[in-house]
Chains A and B, each alone.
Chain A
């Protein structure tokens, strides 16, 4: 069965430090991968997505993620954390465009320390 694992339900970083949020998936077919961000009292907002092509994907707010097939990973990074990055981040996977079977990870809450 397909699944998504996010390592670390809570991550704290200092302002200006590297952000690394981990996501691993299991899939028997090529995945489409997404990172969403959720700010307090808001819905989920797409940060970036991987479908095909270049494995390093750039998203909004300076975030990027790299699809590594051999490691079945899609980790999210940002070189320098900003206070406004504090939010919950969800990794999600689906299998072909147009399918409704999105599988979400359990989320990682990012705290940015001044």
Chain B
């Protein structure tokens, strides 16, 4: 299996621009997670999908953040407009009923 695939791996953008991060979960996994990792705050859960349905988005910091999962094999996290404080590594993870999380390699976002 190819594992969780994220793109882009690196994104540098200017404040105010729209950013879209993409994730392909492991086939057959029914849960998908978006996390953000920073030095100051560690790993933060942004949003959780189960069977393509958003279950908990309480971790999404602001309305500038949105996430979609149109089908079982694809999810996006969008930031519009982006701000320098959004700079972080964004991880997508998926899991099956066995419980363990499988993480992608992350998307490192730098907002100038």
List residues of chain A with CB under 8 Å of any chain B CB: 32, 34, 36, 41-46, 49, 51, 90, 92, 94, 97-98, 100, 102, 104, 106-107
Contact = CB atoms under 8 A, between A and B. Distances in A.
Contacts of B43: 90, 104
Q: When A and B form their complex, which 3 residue pairs have the shortest distance between CB atoms, in order from nearest?
A: A43-B103, A97-B99, A100-B48
A98 B31 CA distance: 8
B2 interface: no
Contact of A43 (B42, B91, B100): B91
Contacts of B99: 32, 49, 51, 94, 97-98
Contacts of A51: 99
Contact of B55 (A32, A97, A100): A100
Nearest to A105: B42
Given A97-B97, A98-B97, A100-B31, A45 B48 contact: no
Nearest to B6: A43
Q: Secondary structure of the B side of the interface? A: strand
Contacts of A46: 100-102
Interface residues of B, number: 23
B45 A102 contact: yes
Interface of B: 4, 31, 33, 42-43, 45, 48, 50, 55-56, 91, 93, 97-106, 108
Contact of B4 (A41, A43, A102): A43
B94 to A, nearest CB: 11
Contacts of A106: 42
Contacts of A44: 91, 93, 101, 103
B106 A43 contact: yes
A19 B60 CA distance: 36
B103 A34 contact: no
Given A42-B105, A43-B4, A44-B101, A100 B42 contact: no
A49 B100 contact: yes
Contact of A45 (B31, B55, B98, B103): B103
